[in-house]
Amino acid sequence: MAYTNADLASRLDFALAVYEEARQLIMSFYQHSSLEVEEKTDFSPVTEADRGAEKLIRERLDVAFPEDGVLGEEFPEKPGQSAFRWILDPVDGTKSFVHGVPLFGTLIGLEVIEGEHRHCVMGVCGFPALNEVVYASEGNGTYWKIGDQPPRRVHVSQVSTIEECTFLTTNMQRWQKIGKWEAYTEILERCKLSRGWGDCYGHVLVATGRADLMVDPALNPWDAAALVPILQEAGGHFVDWKGVPTIYGKNGISVTGKLKDEVLRILNKS
């Protein structure tokens, strides 16, 4: 193993502290009348908050862990000399952010690279407008902190059937675009409750036991890296649509252990 528990602990402490700094910066732009929104080449929105928060985190990383690599949504990758690579999404759910909806988050993930093997070992997912943060590190559980309250350990629900589950997704049109509308409608018709509480917020709702299934038809590595340990340490799964626990599958599912196989069966019907 290329790392120790102390390596993880120091990086988790750093991630929680730098998230609070980034939160203050992000909130200085939130619901501000002068917020400028640009369109990237993939037609997704980006703001001063996205770029400013990622720049801040990178600057702090350069001082605290200069040998670690960094991959982020808004700036080029920085190769590392250590086994660690930070994976950042400063504002996940930018469309919510620019519409003044508080269900956006800041994602700080940590990946360990050992030869050809890569796995995510720590994740912080904070919600600046809600003043909540959910975090996990390998072997240490998942915790949810609300405001100044002490953090409490959380787990996924014990829901075991589609008929009992609360089902979430971000964007219904994406299911149509990838030819999976029948799978979407099957889950929709069978589930107990469906909602569009999307982006990282939906995945964290599963980790904290407030929902049971979140399905994203399209994800980038920076959307997923923090979520893998958060779901795993809460007793659930973050996997791609093939059932692989990876951030490189270009889609993702957060799900309870008892629901996973049935959900994968529905998604992979020919």
pLDDT digits (tens, 9 = 90+) for 72-91: 999 999 999 999 999 999 99
Domain range holding 36?
A: 5-153
Distance in angstroms (rounded) separating the CA atoms of residues 175 and 213: 15
Q: Is the pLDDT of residue 236 over 60?
A: yes
Residues 211, 125 within the same domain: no
- Numbered residues of the known binding site: 73, 89, 92, 223
Three-state DSSP string of 36-76: CEEECCCCCEEEHHHHHHHHHHHHHHHHHCCCCEEEECCCC
Residues 16, 141 within the same domain: yes
Distance in angstroms (rounded) separating the CA atoms of residues 204 and 182: 26
Residues 203, 137 within the same domain: no
Residues 240, 261 within the same domain: yes
Give the domain-ending residue among 127, 153, 179: 153
Q: Residue 1: what pLDDT?
A: 56
**Angle at alpha carbon of residue 26, lines to 37 and 132, rounded to 5°:** 130
Distance in angstroms (rounded) separating the CA atoms of residues 167 and 188: 8
Give the domain-ending residue among 136, 153, 170: 153
Distance in angstroms (rounded) separating the CA atoms of residues 89 and 266: 30
Q: Is the pLDDT of residue 223 over 90?
A: yes
Residues 176, 89 within the same domain: no
Residues 197, 90 within the same domain: no
Residues 63, 183 within the same domain: no
Query: What CATH code is carried by the domain that includes residue 210?
Result: 3.40.190.80
Per-residue pLDDT tens for 173-216?
Answer: 999 999 999 999 999 999 999 999 999 999 999 999 999 999 99
User: Cβ distance 143 to 90 under 8 Å?
Assistant: no
Q: Is the pLDDT of residue 37 over 90?
A: no
Q: Residue 107: what pLDDT?
A: 98
Domain count for the chain: 2
Residues 109, 143 within the same domain: yes
Q: Is the pLDDT of residue 43 over 70?
A: no
Q: Residue 121: what pLDDT?
A: 98
Query: What CATH code is carried by the domain that includes residue 121?
Result: 3.30.540.10
Helix, strand, or coil (residue 247): coil
Give the domain-ending residue among 126, 153, 180: 153
Per-residue pLDDT tens for 96-123?
Answer: 999 999 999 999 999 999 988 999 999 9
Residues 174, 212 within the same domain: yes
Q: Residue 270: what pLDDT?
A: 58
Per-residue pLDDT tens for 128-173?
Answer: 999 999 999 999 999 999 999 999 999 999 999 999 999 999 999 9
- Numbered residues of the known binding site for Mg(2+): 73, 89, 92, 223
Residues 28, 135 within the same domain: yes
Residues 130, 168 within the same domain: no
Q: What is the mean pLDDT of residues 53-58?
A: 97
Q: Return mean pLDDT, the chain.
A: 95
Residues 12, 124 within the same domain: yes
